[in-house]
Structure 1
Amino acid sequence: MEKDDKRIEDLVNKLMAYDSLEKAPEHFTDEVISKIESLPKTKAIVYKPLIPKYVWWLLAGGFMALIANIVFNRPSDTASLSERYNIPDVSFDFLSNISFSFSSTLMYATVFLALMVAIQVPLLKQYFNQKLSY
């Protein structure tokens, strides 16, 4: 292996000995710069948000008008909000029939999983931040 490396090195040295350095023509840098400057200027990409500001202002104004309507348009009687706006009552009775009983092993495993995730997320974030910053 070393013998092959020595032969390759000798061959490269012989080739380099016969080869001369090429020199750039006079005013080469000036010509390149003048060609670059003569290229048409490209427009920079301007950030344009997906949702314009006036839409955000309209949404905020509509939300504020809705809140103002609920607060200031209160009738004199003490009717509930669902009665006042004819909202049907929703019952969640189906959840009252379900009972959960967890074993202590499952509880320990869940706590351990949460602890490991809480430790690993900052460590991975730090690792990837260091990897991405050059």
Structure 2
Amino acid sequence: MEALAHDVNMSAGHLSRQFRAAYGESPYAYLMTRRIERAMALLRRGDLSVTEVCFTFGRASLRTFSTRFNELVGMPPGVFRRQAADAAADRADTAGTARDGGRRSRWRGCRRAWRNTSQVRSGIEKPRPPRSP
């Protein structure tokens, strides 16, 4: 904060007051909010543990990270990660990709119909009867 205040030719206290007036929170609170938002994005991805996300942001204490996360988000990071994973699984299941391991695209039938239609029109391929399920 001191270095930033020096760069803009203000005292640290005055810069902090100006920042609070402009953004509605202190520079530290603003920084912590942005860090927690990034942590939420990493936890939603699901490939990092809560501890790895904690250390990604330079936190030496998992307890401090969890406490601050809980204050801002309203739930501990582990619970947030589990709920995000459950929501992602539900979305994948409704899109039809979870049942078959992600191999099937929900647009596959549309592409096939378009491809067949264009090939039939150009005389490359004879029309095929529809497949039975």
Q: Given the two structures, how large is their TM-score scaled by the length of structure 2?
A: 0.28
Q: Given the two structures, how large is their TM-score scaled by the length of structure 1?
A: 0.28
Identify, as 1 or 2, the structure richer in helix. 2
Higher-RCO chain (CA-CA 8 Å, sequence separation at least 6): 2
Structure exhibiting the larger radius of gyration computed from Cα positions: 1
